[in-house]
Structure 1
Amino acid sequence: MHEPSGPKRIGEALDQVAYRLRAPRAQVLAAVFEAWEELVGTVMAAHASPVRLVDGELVVAVDDPAWATEMKFFSSDLIDRINAVAEQEAVSSLTVRVRPR
């Protein structure tokens, strides 16, 4: 017989859902989406935003092709910063898409 489990911490529950969706753990999502401005700076954050992170690929939307170029130039450093904040190799590649806001 299956025993009912007690309450879980929200992070654990989110991690279970994320795993089923092939998404990263809650800690990683927080590192990217909540700390975005700290990771990229105020100016870049005004023109670029994270869209999704699945299977190590971070998709970032920018509002102009010039910002796409800047983001691509900055991508290696950004991946390193995200992985340091997330305390794991959460992001392995970055894809930039131009989408007017």
Structure 2
Amino acid sequence: MSRRGTPRRLGDALDAVLERLGVAGVVERHEVFGDWEERVGLEIARVARPHRVDGDTLIVKVAHSAWINELSLRRNELLERLNAGRSRSPVKRLLFRLDPEAKG
């Protein structure tokens, strides 16, 4: 078996496959689960967590209704933080929902 062309980094190869399959944007939107605290900050991460992605909308579970109001006022700032450095299909909407199981 012989190789063709120059070697590629595995990450680059996976990106190309995801792009070809048309799911790269979906995968990128779901990355928010892995870097939530880093992007929104510890204070917000303590009271809010990403729950699920529905199309281009991220549904966020929040511990208290007062925090839902606060986060709603900061919606544009949060969208900018969540989408920073993401090239494909960013999260376009945030929906905040009260989390009855939250402790915080």
Give TM-score, length-normalised by structure 2. Answer: 0.68
Amino acid across the alignment from 1:51: H
* Structural RMSD (CA): 2.7
Amino acid across the alignment from 1:90: P
Report how many residues are paired. Answer: 88
2:37 corresponds to which residue? 37
Give TM-score, length-normalised by structure 1. Answer: 0.70
1:88 corresponds to which residue? 88
Amino acid across the alignment from 1:50: P
Q: Which of the two has higher C-alpha Rg? A: 2
Per the alignment, do residues 47 and 12 of structure 1 end up closer, same or farther by CA in structure 2, a change over 3 Å counting?
farther
- Paired-residue identity, %: 30
Amino acid across the alignment from 1:43: E
CA distance in 2, matches of 1:62, 1:54: 17
Listed as ranges, the gaps of 5+ residues in structure 1 are 1-7
Listed as ranges, the gaps of 5+ residues in structure 2 are 1-12
Per the alignment, do residues 24 and 50 of structure 1 end up closer, same or farther by CA in structure 2, a change over 3 Å counting?
farther
CA distance in 1, matches of 2:16, 2:60: 24
Q: Which has the higher contact order (CA 8 A, sep 6+)?
A: 2
